[in-house]
Amino acid sequence: MIAARLIVERDFVISELDRRVFGTFVEHLGRCVYTGIFEPGHPSADARGFRGDVMALVRELGPTVVRYPGGNFLSGYNWEDGVGPVDERPVRLDLAWFSTETNRFGTNEFIDWCKAAGVEPMLGVNLGTRGPDEARRFLEYCNHPGGTALSELRKRHGYPAPHDVKLWCLGNEMDGPWQISGKTAEEYGRAARETAKVMRWVDPRIQLAACGSSNHEMPTYAAWEDRVLDHCYDDVDLLSLHMYFENPKRSTAEMFGNIEVMDLFIQEIVAVADSVAARRRSTKRMMLSFDEWNVWYKARSTADLRQPGWPERPRLLEEVYNFEDALVVGGALIVLMNHADRVKVACLAQLVNVIGAIMTEPGGPAWRQTIFHPFAHASRFARGRVLRPLVESPSYAAQTFPEIPYLCASAVDDSTTGTTAVFALNRHLSDEMELRVELRGLGAERRIDHALTLAHPDLKAINHRDAPDTVVPRANPHVTVDGETLLIRLPPASWNVIVTSAAKR
Ligand code: AHR
């Protein structure tokens, strides 16, 4: 048994949590849209073709924001192809995923789906093959109330009220050589600025996210952000970060280092953004949109990325998540919460089938992947102010990161209800952890509302269609309360949530 301590103090607040950090992502890629969220003819589908079984799981998962339509797909997308009478929509080659795109699902269907799911849409404008003109026209189509050709077109398409989309991505991963019509930092920075300018003229209420580096290991990492922000610092609200966790050594202990690298990544991008601010003598602080993150390394072969013959809805990126992956996803959620002062939007990539939290079979069932559970916990229970965590824990050394504390934790306090949620990952693979949580100034006479743990003897255990509940959270009976202190026994290699309220504050 190892021992660790988490201390939080009522007044030591990182920031109010922006619940848009519990976003996800739907791309026109593989089976995310088609036979994922949308499958006319499926036994559970409604009149619009939205799968009811997937919708029920999405509501349980609890995303707040969904990013759409890509991803790499965005950089070759014509938004006009996806609106208007379905039978008149063009069928196109998608050069991002070498697939055939039928456009039977487009922006208006997505907005309808978001309303049904109770989530906020985050749309992207194509800054690969297109530019500011199409972006401002797309925004006018979506958000302008009426009286112009494009807003009237939307009305003729059956949408009299504007969609009022607030969150917009200015392109996707524009530094990537894989991107359709990628750009240098100078080219992209200028395009982002000019696009942001005209989009704001159309609708000043929007929030805009500029592309940061495609990942932490890009050769132009950090320099890209510096150059891009030099051009568009005053014109955008958010800078994007993307990260996919890998496991090249097939070692869980090494893989946990990804969580620390994600933390470092955020710190580094904050430093770069703040240095741009310093050069400009700007008091504005750039906020971050971590709008693609997940584990992704198993379904990454050439056959997982593209299939010959320009197929429709091929099985691409269908990563099957194991228990170990769920732990890493839990750690990433803790990192995002603990950076609540700068990370205001984040999207687990993606929602269904394609590196998805949910899996489906065409015409068949839908089920929860292992990573579904920590996300659903965080989205359900993390509300209010993120408290600054003081963590005391033994640690270990790894190649992915030099010092990894066994305990990774965050605490979020909702002062309106007197409820505090503690999220804790025990990264020790063989030892239980005796965790002492001191909730200082948050009220005594505490009641335990929920004590949940995700643990499994087999780190490689998966959920699949015939055994969808192999990895599921269970109640943790080993929690005691002593005044303001909680004592919890965490199983080895486990994700844990303790939700507690104070009778008196
Ligand atoms: O999420 C899968 C792909 O990963 C996205 O299309 C792209 O933005 C990233 O490289």
Is residue 426 within 8 A of residue 494, CB to CB? The reply is yes
Nearest-CA residue for ligand 1 atom 2 is 71
Helix (H, G, I), strand (E, B) or coil at 85: coil
How close is the Cα of 48 to the center of ligand 1, in Å?
Answer: 27
The pLDDT assigned to 477 comes to 96
Query: How buried is residue 433: exposed, middle or buried, by Cβ count under 10 Å (0-12/13-18/19+)?
Result: buried
At 342-401, the pLDDT tens digits run 999 999 999 999 999 999 999 999 999 999 999 999 999 999 999 999 999 999 999 999
pTM of the predicted structure, to 2 decimals: 0.97
Is residue 368 within 8 A of residue 357, CB to CB? The reply is yes
At 4-47, the pLDDT tens digits run 999 999 999 999 999 999 999 999 999 999 999 999 999 999 99
User: Per DSSP, which regions of 22-131 are E strands?
Assistant: 23-25, 65-68, 92-94, 99-101, 120-125
Cα distance from N-terminal residue to C-terminal residue, the chain = 33
SS3 of 160-173: CCCCCCCEEEECCC
When the pLDDT of each residue in the chain is averaged and rounded to a whole number, the result is 97
List the structure tokens of 144.
């302008």
- DSSP letter at 445 equals S
The pLDDT assigned to 429 comes to 98
Ligand 1 nearest atom to the CA of residue 74, by list position? 6
Best mutation site among 174, 217, 292 for ligand 1, i.e. most ligand atoms within 8 A of its Cβ? 292
Nearest-CA residue for ligand 1 atom 7 is 71
Is residue 185 within 8 A of residue 220, CB to CB? The reply is yes
How close is the Cα of 193 to the center of ligand 1, in Å?
Answer: 23
Is residue 344 within 8 A of residue 289, CB to CB? The reply is yes
How close is the Cα of 71 to the center of ligand 1, in Å?
Answer: 5
Is residue 381 within 8 A of residue 388, CB to CB? The reply is no
- DSSP letter at 51 equals B
pLDDT band (50, 70, 90) for residue 505: low
How close is the Cα of 259 to the center of ligand 1, in Å?
Answer: 19
How close is the Cα of 25 to the center of ligand 1, in Å?
Answer: 10
pLDDT average, residue stretch 469-489: 96
Nearest-CA residue for ligand 1 atom 8 is 71
Least confident of 183-192, 427-436, 438-447, 489-498: 438-447
In this predicted model, which residue has the larger pLDDT, 29 or 504? Answer: 29
Closest residue by Cα to residue 77 from 209, 212, 183, 171: 171
Query: How far is CA 318 from its chain centroid?
Result: 17
pLDDT band (50, 70, 90) for residue 104: very high
Residues ≥6 apart with Cβ < 8 Å to 155: 146
Report helix, strand and coil shares of the chain as percent, to nearest 5: 30, 30, 45
pLDDT average, residue stretch 142-157: 98
Best mutation site among 31, 172, 213 for ligand 1, i.e. most ligand atoms within 8 A of its Cβ? 172
List the structure tokens of 381.
């229970």
Nearest-CA residue for ligand 1 atom 4 is 71
Ligand 1 nearest atom to the CA of residue 349, by list position? 1
pLDDT band (50, 70, 90) for residue 445: confident
List the structure tokens of 198.
């005209």
Ligand 1 nearest atom to the CA of residue 29, by list position? 6
Q: Tell me the C-alpha distance between 76 and 173, whole Å.
A: 13
At 281-311, the pLDDT tens digits run 999 999 999 999 999 999 999 999 999 999 9
The residues carrying an active-site annotation are 173, 292
Q: Report the percent of the chain where pLDDT is more than 70.
A: 100
Q: Tell me the C-alpha distance between 475 and 441, whole Å.
A: 27
CA of 75: how far to CAs of 31, 34, 171, 382, 413, in Å? 19, 19, 7, 34, 40
Ligand 1 nearest atom to the CA of residue 176, by list position? 10
Ligand 1 nearest atom to the CA of residue 173, by list position? 8
Best mutation site among 33, 72, 180, 293 for ligand 1, i.e. most ligand atoms within 8 A of its Cβ? 72
Nearest-CA residue for ligand 1 atom 9 is 71
Q: Tell me the C-alpha distance between 92 and 315, whole Å.
A: 18
The pLDDT assigned to 109 comes to 98
Q: Tell me the C-alpha distance between 340 and 99, whole Å.
A: 38
The pLDDT assigned to 188 comes to 98
How close is the Cα of 337 to the center of ligand 1, in Å?
Answer: 23
Q: What angle do CA 10, 481, 381 make, to 5 degrees?
A: 55
At 207-241, the pLDDT tens digits run 999 999 999 999 999 999 999 999 999 999 999 99
How close is the Cα of 304 to the center of ligand 1, in Å?
Answer: 13
Best mutation site among 74, 242, 353, 354 for ligand 1, i.e. most ligand atoms within 8 A of its Cβ? 242
Q: Could you tell me where the DSSP H helices lie in 294-403? A: 302-305, 323-338, 372-381
Helix (H, G, I), strand (E, B) or coil at 256: coil
The pLDDT assigned to 13 comes to 98
Nearest-CA residue for ligand 1 atom 6 is 71
Nearest-CA residue for ligand 1 atom 3 is 71
Residue 503, pLDDT above cutoff 80: no
Ligand 1 lining (C-beta closer than 6 Å): 27, 70-72, 172-173, 292, 349-350
At 402-424, the pLDDT tens digits run 999 999 999 999 999 999 999 99
Ligand 1 nearest atom to the CA of residue 25, by list position? 1
Is residue 27 within 8 A of residue 68, CB to CB? The reply is yes
User: Per DSSP, which regions of 183-278 are E strands?
Assistant: 207-210, 238-245
Residue 444, pLDDT above cutoff 90: no
Ligand 1 nearest atom to the CA of residue 72, by list position? 6
How close is the Cα of 70 to the center of ligand 1, in Å?
Answer: 7
